[in-house]
Structure 1
Amino acid sequence: GNTVVLKPSTESAVSGGLILAQIFEQAGLPKGVLNVVTNGPGKSSEIGDVFVKDKRVRRITFTGSTEVGRILAEKAGNYLKKVTLELGCSSPLIVLKDADIEYAVNAAVFGWYLHQGQVCMSTKRIIVEKEIAEKFTEEFIRKVKTLKAGDPRSNDIIVGPLINENQRNKLLLEIERAIEQGAKLIYGGDYKGLVFYPTVLTGVTEDMDIFYEETFGPVASIIVADNAEEALRLANNCDYGLSAGIITANVNKGIELAEKLEFGCTHINGATVHDESHVPFGGMKDSGWGRNGIEAIEEYTEIRWVTLQKDKISFKF
């Protein structure tokens, strides 16, 4: 079988690497099958280059930003090395006018604020048909106000800290720029340390940078669409294509839209944050290529053709 080298993020070396190694070791995994490599700040690229150049490494899987994914794919291409990339997204949740508003709000809040929005599948754009946009926004704010932010070691805390100060400052700049471009800050926008309080922007349009950005934090952008067809167009109008959601009472309409959405994963009447170990999870466009889940077995397998002749062949010459 395949042995694995796991290099977690420098920001989560313990929880994303060392603890996993301990768990597998305690479970009886033989030494050398899973190898965890950690590094300090500024060394990730150097270590990545070693993996790319080493002939013993036959495949590389990367989860992270589209920018880094492009660099890694380019370097791996020089060595004809296969890569699986699971990159960023600006995940849309489409809420049609026939949707159960309470259910739609619950799906949107969960998809947005789980892990403070620091998930590649997190809902980045809530696209609501105009007939219910006002009511949806009211109920969404009411729900958001119930979310407690603070130390995640407390059981009642939903919104915990961001990964680092750089991410917090980036969020502040994205919000400031969105407001300058015409968006309205109707809730939140504050922080304490690394805890960024749930924030809601309305009036977001395609003319604004935040429409296209992967806002990696608890910042919700509500976008109004004239109808289902425009909602579909708005959802597809981005370079990403990882995960999308549709909330509707009309399953057939949901399926019709899902077939036209340019996303690797679409969840009808579900949140954009949804992954299962057996499904072919992965994205389209700038969200990467290749699939995880069951499909990953094929990704990590070399197909060979072996023949065996029971009788002698009569060759023509």
Structure 2
Amino acid sequence: MTIARDLLIGGRDVPARSGRTTTDVNPYTGEVYATVAAAGAEDVALAVTAAQDAFDAWAATSPSARRAIFLKAADLLHERGDRAADLMCGEVGGTRPWAGFNVALAADMLREAAAAITAPRGEVLAAQEEGALGLAVREPLGVVAAFAPWNAPVILGVRAVAAALAAGNTVVLKPSEDAPLACGLFVADLLRDAGLPGGALNVITNDPADAAPVAEALIADPRVAAVNFTGSTEVGRTIGTHAARHLKPALLELGGKNAIIVLDDADVDYAVDAAAFGVFMNAGQICMSGDRVLVHESLAAEFTEKFVAKVAALPSGDPADPGTVIGPLVTPAAARRVAALVGDAVLKGAAVLTGGGEPQGSLHPATVLTGVPEDADLYHAEAFGPVCALGTFATDAEAAALANDTRNGLTAGIITENGTHGLRVARRLRTGIVHINDQSVADEPQAPFGGRGASGYGRFGGRWGIEAFTSTRWVTLATQHAHYPF
């Protein structure tokens, strides 16, 4: 049975003013999974109006009342874990383990947001004037325009709204056209059922053909105070340009070209398992996925043999099967894009150690390449699929140079049994995140999450998330009359 959903504006489910709808397709079966309202600019304006109207009351809601809503939403998410898994499978081909990870981390994000509500938000300053008290107070910005991607839909749907709402802002959320339910309406339902007042969170779904004008209308609305975007570097550059044009702060978490570095003192079997997870979890469709695995030359032969054998044996197919590791990519077009990257690399001299070939619909085989030359598109482009390139190095300096040979400085993993050695290498990497004796995929709600360069700017997580969605006001209180020169 096909799911049908409207927009969420002002706490009510309403159709698009035009009456238009759009389809949400299951990437594995090719069948229509859901039908959602297709918003236009007039719906965007109505959603912003609802958010603006709700702002004063939500910002004034007591911290204990706001915290209770987030804690209740976290409990509801756990209760609805099976529903989340079904949505992720049907919309984006997510496997059950990946859905479980989404539910657990997103629930922790909601709890972290609840904790942040009552965390200190300001400082007492050293005032210059005798008898004066100076304060630096953090206050909510107003209406936040939020954009959530499809690849980790529950995690990133929650992250798109949680910190902004916890800080006292209201939000208009535009979820990805490939996962309007899982990263948009499902998240909003949790918060609404937990007691979030109408208008505090509004959800606009749209047809893919309307994505650009809907996004531009949302950012351009003068009542929108800030922008929160997670997605590709290409789209993020456009979003950031729109925000800058209207002088609005933007938090951008964009693509990665991440390396997993296996040092000469690594445990090879552990390194193989870590790299396989870091590269192929969610079929490589994670901004933190390891596109490149760099191995010290002394371990290269043993690592390559074991790694290729493990990757070749990874089960692929139906994401609803609990044993599936490599599920479908989000669309057949995404699978063809990955195949084109592999084909271009092979044409220019790379060798396929396992996988390769043409995709079957949205399924692309887990693929390991070696000898990818610098003129291959895959050398610089984010794969965002079940593909990695193996490389070798002789020294720590060479490993760092290879890992840094990208503009996308998001994350990295360093596999080593020597923490001091790992830390020395880590400090040479130009990334926002690095994990020593672990692979590149990790996220914790209290930690500062974000990248450098073309991987975006700003930080999610803990106090950094609250700071991203508040402004600092300087307030002074004079306890005695001042003396003026005239």
Q: TM-score, normalised by structure 2?
A: 0.64
SS of match in other structure, 1:138: helix
Q: What is the identity percentage for the equivalent residue pairs of Structure 1 and Structure 2? A: 43
Instruction: Report if aligned partners of 2:339, 2:364 keep a CA contact under 8 Å in 1.
Output: no
Say which of 299, 314, 317 aligns to 2:483. 314
Say which of 299, 306, 310 aligns to 1:143. 310
**Where does residue 6 of structure 1 map in the other structure?**
173
Instruction: Report if aligned partners of 1:205, 1:223 keep a CA contact under 8 Å in 2.
Output: no
Question: What is the CA-CA distance between 1:227 and the residue it aligns to?
Answer: 2.0
Question: What is the CA-CA distance between 1:56 and the residue it aligns to?
Answer: 1.6
In the alignment, the residues of structure 2 paired with residue 27 and residue 156 of structure 1 have an alpha-carbon distance, to the nearest angstrom, of 33
SS of match in other structure, 2:470: coil
Say which of 421, 424, 432 aligns to 1:256. 424
Instruction: Report if aligned partners of 1:105, 1:140 keep a CA contact under 8 Å in 2.
Output: yes
SS of match in other structure, 1:162: coil
SS of match in other structure, 1:206: coil
Say which of 468, 473, 481 aligns to 1:299. 468
Q: TM-score, normalised by structure 1?
A: 0.97
Instruction: Report if aligned partners of 2:220, 2:246 keep a CA contact under 8 Å in 1.
Output: yes
Deviations 1:202-224 (A, max 9, x none): 12243433121100100121011
In the alignment, the residues of structure 1 paired with residue 209 and residue 431 of structure 2 have an alpha-carbon distance, to the nearest angstrom, of 32
**Where does residue 202 of structure 1 map in the other structure?**
370
2:247 matches 1:80: yes
SS of match in other structure, 1:94: strand
Say which of 281, 284, 292 aligns to 2:449. 281
Q: What does 1:28-177 correspond to in 2, within 5 Å?
A: 28-177=195-344
- Runs (4 or more) in structure 1 with deviation over 6 Å come to none
Deviations 1:173-231 (A, max 9, x none): 10111001111011112432212121111122434331211001001210111222111
**Where does residue 187 of structure 1 map in the other structure?**
354
Q: Which amino acid aligns with 1:219?
A: V
Say which of 424, 435, 441 aligns to 1:267. 435
Q: Which amino acid aligns with 2:371?
A: G
Any unmatched runs of 5+ in structure 1? none
In the alignment, the residues of structure 1 paired with residue 337 and residue 265 of structure 2 have an alpha-carbon distance, to the nearest angstrom, of 36
Say which of 161, 185, 189 aligns to 1:18. 185
Q: Which amino acid aligns with 2:424?
A: E
Question: What is the CA-CA distance between 1:21 and the residue it aligns to?
Answer: 1.4
In the alignment, the residues of structure 1 paired with residue 218 and residue 448 of structure 2 have an alpha-carbon distance, to the nearest angstrom, of 25
Task: Name the larger-Rg structure.
Answer: 2
Any unmatched runs of 5+ in structure 2? 1-167
Question: What is the CA-CA distance between 1:24 and the residue it aligns to?
Answer: 1.4
Question: What is the CA-CA distance between 1:278 and the residue it aligns to?
Answer: 0.8
Question: What is the CA-CA distance between 1:34 and the residue it aligns to?
Answer: 1.3
In the alignment, the residues of structure 2 paired with residue 169 and residue 269 of structure 1 have an alpha-carbon distance, to the nearest angstrom, of 34
Q: Which amino acid aligns with 1:179?
A: V
In the alignment, the residues of structure 1 paired with residue 340 and residue 312 of structure 2 have an alpha-carbon distance, to the nearest angstrom, of 23
Instruction: Report if aligned partners of 1:92, 1:123 keep a CA contact under 8 Å in 2.
Output: yes
Instruction: Report if aligned partners of 1:203, 1:224 keep a CA contact under 8 Å in 2.
Output: no
In the alignment, the residues of structure 2 paired with residue 224 and residue 211 of structure 1 have an alpha-carbon distance, to the nearest angstrom, of 14
Q: Which amino acid aligns with 2:472?
A: I
2:386 matches 1:223: no
In the alignment, the residues of structure 2 paired with residue 29 and residue 142 of structure 1 have an alpha-carbon distance, to the nearest angstrom, of 50
User: Which stretch shifts more, 292-301 or 185-194?
Assistant: 185-194
Question: What is the CA-CA distance between 1:149 and the residue it aligns to?
Answer: 0.5
User: Which stretch shifts more, 71-80 or 94-103?
Assistant: 71-80
In the alignment, the residues of structure 2 paired with residue 78 and residue 41 of structure 1 have an alpha-carbon distance, to the nearest angstrom, of 24
**Where does residue 31 of structure 2 map in the other structure?**
none
SS of match in other structure, 1:298: helix
Name the count of aligned residue pairs. 317
SS of match in other structure, 1:307: strand
In the alignment, the residues of structure 2 paired with residue 241 and residue 105 of structure 1 have an alpha-carbon distance, to the nearest angstrom, of 23
**Where does residue 106 of structure 2 map in the other structure?**
none
Q: Which amino acid aligns with 1:54?
A: D
Q: Which amino acid aligns with 1:112?
A: V
Deviations 1:227-285 (A, max 9, x none): 22111100001111001110112211111111110000000011211111111100001
In the alignment, the residues of structure 1 paired with residue 331 and residue 384 of structure 2 have an alpha-carbon distance, to the nearest angstrom, of 11
